[in-house]
């Protein structure tokens, strides 16, 4: 369904060389590459429309405002969000999570419990630890099984009437495993707990429907769905967003300011203090247009092909061990080879033009669970090819031979 060579021509960076070799970019879980259409949107904003939004009566301000708000509407439709005001633009996924955790004291009291999973990115652990310290709540952890999936039986056992908030990622950035978030949300609701789903790894790789999912909050990272860095989205149910206090104070997020009292603007502006990343928001809208044109179902199907192909190829490497080898997962392969350090392998394959990630991937508890310092992570996107996977595997063989 996808014309991969035509798609690759849209991404200028894929034509460059690294260390004298054609670039093979398999670090998409860290950030996706940007098509020319997104790059052009940034350039066009700064060359034709550059002005602050929402605040001016002059033509440039009005045009920039229209483009920015059009991007908000594109995001609303793309994620099937009921109202545009429930699309909060942030600087990224981490900002979105912190915005909720900072104000979540309105949902969490002293002695309450929060539940996170043991496969979370640090950005979905640390803010909740900080909340627990502020309000005197307790953090509970869903353990991970040997195959990288969450222990749902254990999760159901730690849920109780004290559970105030449940936060998990949709897809593990360290393992690629897709978590059963619908079931997690459903179980949490039995106890009246709020839910937040970290969608950094899902927003650019699968079709998402906020109304069907029914989470109270959901976070997205623009740079992981072909958009620019410095832009993200926080979705929240309208009632939950109305209860949540502002994360930052300043211009745009106010209704009235006096030295006696300040009142806040309504949604979404309550959470968008100061001048936003206007170019980033508009360019994220261009990225959504691009993904829509390809079709998220087509993207998911092709990336699954790459996952299956890459998994079988890596398993043929002597001593290779894949972590999180399950059916329901994204196009991420996290693995090690024998006792060789992942950093050493990653350094050698980089010299051969192959970009993979090495380390604990900001998910140190996952690595501690498996007793390893880190992994090699190859993460694919719809502009990658099976031929590139073959080159990576050849580079891995060469690295292993050099280090053994």
| SS3 state of residue 166 | strand
Question: Closest Cα partner for 174 from 315, 350, 340, 30?
Answer: 30
Whether 13 shows a pLDDT value over 90: the answer reads yes
Cross-strand bridge partners of residue 332:
379
* pLDDT level of residue 124 (50, 70, 90 thresholds): very high
pLDDT given for residue 227 in this prediction:
98
Place of tokens 């890459």: 310
Q: Which two tokens stand for residue 240?
A: 């939950």
* pLDDT level of residue 264 (50, 70, 90 thresholds): very high
Q: Does 132 participate in catalysis according to the annotation?
A: no
User: What would the pLDDT profile of 152-190 be if each residue is shown by its tens digit?
Assistant: 999 999 999 999 999 999 999 999 999 999 999 999 999
Q: How many CB atoms lie within 10 A of CB 159?
A: 20
388 close to 24: Cβ distance less than 8 angstroms: yes
Question: Closest Cα partner for 270 from 317, 312, 238?
Answer: 238
Whether 61 shows a pLDDT value over 90: the answer reads yes
Q: How many CB atoms lie within 10 A of CB 312?
A: 10
Whether 55 shows a pLDDT value over 90: the answer reads no
- CATH code for residues 4-30+296-403: 3.90.1150.10
Strands (DSSP E) found in 20-144: 21-22, 24-25, 87-90, 113-117, 138-142
pLDDT given for residue 381 in this prediction:
98
Question: Closest Cα partner for 272 from 102, 88, 138, 124?
Answer: 88
* 47-76: average pLDDT: 96
Q: Which two tokens stand for residue 189?
A: 């609701």
Distance in angstroms (rounded) separating the CA atoms of residues 266 and 256: 12
152 close to 185: Cβ distance less than 8 angstroms: no
b/e 13-50 (16+ beta carbons within 10 angstroms → b): ebeeeeeeeebbbbbbbebbbbbeebbebbebbeeebe
Q: Which two tokens stand for residue 386?
A: 């099976």
pLDDT given for residue 221 in this prediction:
98
* 128-148: average pLDDT: 98
Q: CA 97 → CA 123, 220, 365, distances in Å?
A: 7, 10, 19
Overall fold of domain 39-293: 3.40.640
User: What would the pLDDT profile of 103-117 be if each residue is shown by its tens digit?
Assistant: 999 999 999 999 999
How many Å from the N-terminal Cα to the C-terminal Cα in the chain?
42
| SS3 state of residue 318 | coil
* CATH 3.90.1150.10 location in the chain: 4-30+296-403
Whether 1 shows a pLDDT value over 90: the answer reads no
* pLDDT level of residue 324 (50, 70, 90 thresholds): very high
Rounded to the nearest integer, the mean pLDDT of the chain is 97
pLDDT given for residue 56 in this prediction:
85
Distance in angstroms (rounded) separating the CA atoms of residues 29 and 31: 6
Q: How many CB atoms lie within 10 A of CB 338?
A: 12
Percentage above 70 pLDDT, the chain: 100
* 308-330: average pLDDT: 97
Read out DSSP for 267-317? TTGGG--SS--HHHHHHHHHHHHHHHHH-HHHHHHHHHHHHHHHHHHHHTS
71 close to 222: Cβ distance less than 8 angstroms: no
Distance in angstroms (rounded) separating the CA atoms of residues 379 and 377: 6
Whether 256 shows a pLDDT value over 90: the answer reads yes
Whether 273 shows a pLDDT value over 90: the answer reads yes
Residue 355 backbone phi and psi in degrees, to 5: -100, 110
Question: Closest Cα partner for 100 from 195, 30, 214?
Answer: 195
Distance in angstroms (rounded) separating the CA atoms of residues 263 and 284: 30
* pLDDT level of residue 404 (50, 70, 90 thresholds): confident
Of 132, 203, 226, 362, the active-site residue reads 362
Q: What is the pTM of this model?
A: 0.97
pLDDT given for residue 352 in this prediction:
96
* pLDDT level of residue 40 (50, 70, 90 thresholds): very high
Distance in angstroms (rounded) separating the CA atoms of residues 315 and 368: 23
* CATH 3.40.640.10 location in the chain: 39-293
Whether 278 shows a pLDDT value over 90: the answer reads yes
Cis before 268 (ω within 30): yes
């Amino acid at each position: 369904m996808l014309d991969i060579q035509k798609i690759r021509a849209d991404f200028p960076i894929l034509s460059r060389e690294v260390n004298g070799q054609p670039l093979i970019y398999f670090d998409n879980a860290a950030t996706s590459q940007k098509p020319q259409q997104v790059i052009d949107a940034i350039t066009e904003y700064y060359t034709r429309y550059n002005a602050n939004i929402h605040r001016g009566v002059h033509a440039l301000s009005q045009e920039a405002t229209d483009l920015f708000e059009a991007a908000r509407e594109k995001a609303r439709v793309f994620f099937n969000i009921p109202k545009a005001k429930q699309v909060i633009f942030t600087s990224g996924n981490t900002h979105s999570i912190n915005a909720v955790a900072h104000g979540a004291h309105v949902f969490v009291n002293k002695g309450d419990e929060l539940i996170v999973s043991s496969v979370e990115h640090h950005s979905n652990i640390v803010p909740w630890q900080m909340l627990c310290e502020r309000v005197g709540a307790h953090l509970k952890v869903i353990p991970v099984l040997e195959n990288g999936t969450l222990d749902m039986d254990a999760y159901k056992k730690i849920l109780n009437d004290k559970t105030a908030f449940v936060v998990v990622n949709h897809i593990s950035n360290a393992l690629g495993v897709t978590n059963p978030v619908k079931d997690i949300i459903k179980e949490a609701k039995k106890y009246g707990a709020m839910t937040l789903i970290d969608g950094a790894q899902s927003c650019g790789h699968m079709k998402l429907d906020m109304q069907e999912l029914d989470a109270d909050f959901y976070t997205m990272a623009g740079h992981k769905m072909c958009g620019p860095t410095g832009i993200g989205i926080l979705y929240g149910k309208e009632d939950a967003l109305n209860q949540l206090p502002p994360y930052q104070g300043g211009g745009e997020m106010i209704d009235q300011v006096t030295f006696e009292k300040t009142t806040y603007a309504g949604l979404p502006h309550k959470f968008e203090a100061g001048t936003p990343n206007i170019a980033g928001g508009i360019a994220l809208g261009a990225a959504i247009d691009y993904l829509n044109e390809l079709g998220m179902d087509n993207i998911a199907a092709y990336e699954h092909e790459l996952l299956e192909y890459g998994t079988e190829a890596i398993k043929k490497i002597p001593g290779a061990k894949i972590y999180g080898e399950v059916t329901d997962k994204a196009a991420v392969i996290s693995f090690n080879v024998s006792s060789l350090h992942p950093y050493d392998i990653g350094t050698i394959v980089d010299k051969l033009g192959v970009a993979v990630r090495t380390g604990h991937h900001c998910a140190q508890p996952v690595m501690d669970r498996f007793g390893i310092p880190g992994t090699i992570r190859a993460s694919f996107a719809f502009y990658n090819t099976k031929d590139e996977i073959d080159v990576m595997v050849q580079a891995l063989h060469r690295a292993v031979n050099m280090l053994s």
